[in-house]
Structure 1
Amino acid sequence: MPIGYELEPNGMLDRMYRWFSKVSSRHVGAAEELPPKETLDGHLAAQRLAYDAVVHVSKLLRVGMTELEAATLLENYLKDHGTERYLHRAFAWFGSHSRFDEYQSYSDYHPSDRVLEEDHVVILDVSPVVDGYIGDVGYTVCLKPNEEMEKAKTFLLQLREDLPKMFGSTMTAGEIWLDIDRRIKDAGYDNVHSKYPHCVLGHRVFRVKPKQGKHLRIGNRSFGWFSLETNMAFLKMGLSATLTPEHIGRKLGLWAIEPHIGWAGGGAKFEEILVVEPGRCYWLDDNVPHVLEAKQRQAAAAAN
């Protein structure tokens, strides 16, 4: 699969893939099952652990550290707090890597020996599995004040505010993808999540069988992003599990939503779980770092 997305299909194979994606997105199976409260609590615990990890590691970042070292710190934090299991491996992207520049294939997206510089924007992305429940978050920081990054994060917070309304509307998931894409470009940014495998704006989260120990993974290409167990779960659900431009299936269930935008030299994203119920759509938790930090900035500005 080529990296990126164009509105017009690129040849016959692309047309066939888009047709298959659209048809298969209707076959949701158990992916849209609405979880009971205890299940939501399990995902909330996993998401909060994920945020604890990225915030903790963000404070340990130093000039000269590599992406691999930052990813290892994330993995060690999770291990020290009771889990070695994950939906996907820990990611750390520095500088232009935070907008996926220089990447030619999906194997390039894994943490590298890229060295952190003081003005680099950093994205940390981690997805622990806690007692079988998946959490998946993305967090954007910089070692020094970065006006462009803060502007981008403000734009992302507006998307965060609007996304539950969009999921609660009659729009298909694919129409939501295309509208977010339009809004990103109208604001002068690049759509970086269009460079993800299957160009996903998000994916479903679910529970896997609780186990101890590490997950296995296959290779280092797109399948290597995810553990073997979660790859198998995604295959079972099919493309209904991914929020792509072709998705026309039902939206009910739990989604990890991850809009990712870029500008010259940097990128920013957030990722958190959206709960979609009949007649109600809401974020699993509003006490998340990017929201709390924005409130703190607003309070400080008002005080001045």
Structure 2
Amino acid sequence: MIDEMKISLEGIDIRRDEPLKNYTYTKVGGPADFLAFPRNGYELSRIVKFANKHGLPWLVLGNASNLIVRDGGIRGFVIMFNKLNMVTVNGYTIEAEAGANLIETTKVAQFHSLTGFEFACGIPGSVGGAVFMNAGAYGGEIAHVLVSAKVLTKAGEIKTIDGKDMHFGYRHSILQDEEEVVISAKFALKPGDYQQITQEMKRLNHLRALKQPLEHPSCGSVFKRPVGHFAGQLITEADLKGYRIGGVEVSTKHAGFMVNVADGNAKDYEDLIAAVIAKVKAHSGITLEPEVRIIGEKEK
């Protein structure tokens, strides 16, 4: 099969047994059997069709921000979109490939004096991941600005979905149900004042820097917001700030985050998440639900 792969996928950057901790925001994660970096939708489709033909699982990680990859790694193909990162502007519409950095995409909007994307100016990760999970902050979310997305189906075909058909909810889209992958997305913005846009982005980034532990590797916000409550507040009230398992601890700056402070691994993250859920449940009666995706195999 390896020989056939070299022929069928010639010209595509594919690495064998590549440690995923080198690519994740958490700095944890075991090896991928095959880690692929397609440059366009055609290469992506070739990878998926090859994997399907040979019964190999495949998974897109995007920019690997709001997730934890287990220490046993991931079998089959892992696909990252680092090379799919072009951003273009046409009038009041921005089109970004899935691997484009979301923060950098909001800076493109800022440069062109387009407003509506300021809410995302501090959200780490990729455009594709943001659409997939309807990322949001400070009252805004992707659902408010998305026009359409070009996606890859499980069969390796490419289609376009209108924003109104995305079934957006809180950190949810139809892509999660259908296991489809964003290739690119179009966003409708409005003409604005450059100075006002800049000031708003500075204000939001200042708030983020005050509240969030940006100085350590993390998986972003760990838990969904419980109805009528804030996860960070519930964790704080349970006296869990600074609570640590292995090399991972509940941030002392914002209890809704867990940070890798001492070369922690994925098991540390999972054990800490389970412990926090149990302790918050015992303290307040509320069961926290993880927002972060946990994928891959546990180390044997």
Structure showing greater radius of gyration is 2
TM range (shorter): under 0.3
If the length of structure 1 is used for normalisation, what is the TM-score?
0.24
Give the structure with the higher percent strand: 2
Give the structure with the higher percent helix: 1
If the length of structure 2 is used for normalisation, what is the TM-score?
0.24
